[in-house]
Amino acid sequence: MSSPQTSSSPESASATESAPQQRRVEEKHAGAGKSESLSATDDSADSTEQTVHLKVFRYDPDVEAKEEPRYDDFHVPLERGMTVLDALIYARDHFDSSLTFRHSCRMGVCGSDGLFINGRQRLGCQTQISDLDSPVQVEPLPHEPVIKDLVVDMDHFFERMESIEPYFQPDELPDGELEEQRQSPENREKIKEASRCIQCGCCTSSCNHAQFDDEYIGPAAIVNGYRFYFDEREGDEPKNHRLDILSKEHGVWQCHTQFSCTEVCPKDIPITEEIQEMKREAMKRDVKFW
């Protein structure tokens, strides 16, 4: 038995077609009302938002009124995951555009934002505000001349780095024009940690001996020397030459094994351990038992 046929009027068909559209319109209006409610809640939260208190070192030799070093206070709105660099950028962009500091990648790779934060050398981009006591005191790296505010002159640091000739000097190159210089996985593992150095200067700034001996090449340079000395692709003669540089009067023997460099390294390089290993290499080469 067939079902009875039903007929619909044009008005009912139109109502059926418009029902989904009407529903979407109603949902849109409801969403807008919800957004306005959330916005009002956010505005209320903003009025009681938390702030972080920054105490920032200031110095500008080119401005007479700022020639005397001082500390400026900034109260920056605190956000989840905020780093010291984030807070400094906010202070510069919203409170004082003359605030000067270095930064680049913001990912702990470039090493440009090494700072003295709450009495310790750290990377601004790697240091969470939530891990620090308030106020957060931000100063330039110690033991280097201050150019302006948080920017120090790094020329002497990079001269120290260059002194160990940080580049490959193989005895011979592969025969094929496009053939690579091969390295074993074991050797790569040996120098892997030293290869992580980003030349931020934190370790050298923390070294007391580097403060008093301008000729001491410092922990960062020694780590870079270690990286090339133990690379199996390095030539024998350049290897001995680099060991001569590292074991000279102002080289590895000036390390007092304080571990301060290891403690502040943002890349967790065992700097003191690698300096001691370079000392052993120098001893093995130069000490004779006959």
CATH number at residue 106: 3.10.20.30
Is 159 in the same domain as 264? yes
- Residue 47 in this model has a pLDDT that exceeds 60: no
* Structural domain harbouring 210: 155-170+186-286
Is 134 in the same domain as 243? no
Is 64 in the same domain as 122? yes
Window from 15-29, 78-92, 138-152, 219-233 with minimum mean pLDDT:
15-29
User: What pLDDT does residue 44 have?
Assistant: 38
Is 166 in the same domain as 255? yes
Count of positions (residues) in the chain: 290
Total number of domains in the chain: 2
* Mean pLDDT value across the chain: 86
Identify whether 257 is part of a domain.
Answer: yes
- pTM passes above 0.85: no
Identify whether 89 is part of a domain.
Answer: yes
Identify whether 1 is part of a domain.
Answer: no
Identify whether 123 is part of a domain.
Answer: yes
Return the DSSP state at 5. P
Instruction: Note whether 157 and 204 are within 8 A (CB).
Output: yes
Q: Reduce the DSSP state of residue 124 to 3 states and report it.
A: helix
The string of pLDDT tens digits covering residues 180-234 is: 888 899 999 999 999 999 999 999 999 998 888 889 999 999 999 999 999 999 9
Is 191 in the same domain as 231? yes
Ranges of H-type helices in the chain: 10-46, 84-94, 155-162, 185-191, 202-206, 208-212, 218-229, 236-246, 260-264, 271-286
Is 192 in the same domain as 265? yes
Identify whether 280 is part of a domain.
Answer: yes
Give the side-chain half-sphere CA count within 13 A for 268: 2
Is 166 in the same domain as 270? yes
Identify whether 27 is part of a domain.
Answer: no
Is 205 in the same domain as 112? no
Is 260 in the same domain as 203? yes
Residue owning tokens 């199996």: 232
Identify whether 94 is part of a domain.
Answer: yes
Question: How do the residues of the chain divide into helix, strand and coil, expressed in percent and rounded to 5?
Answer: 45, 10, 40
The strand pair at 136-139 and 51-58 is best described as parallel
Identify whether 32 is part of a domain.
Answer: no
The string of pLDDT tens digits covering residues 219-255 is: 999 999 999 999 999 989 999 999 999 999 899 999 9
Distances (CA, A) of 168 to 218, 221, 224, 237: 21, 15, 12, 12
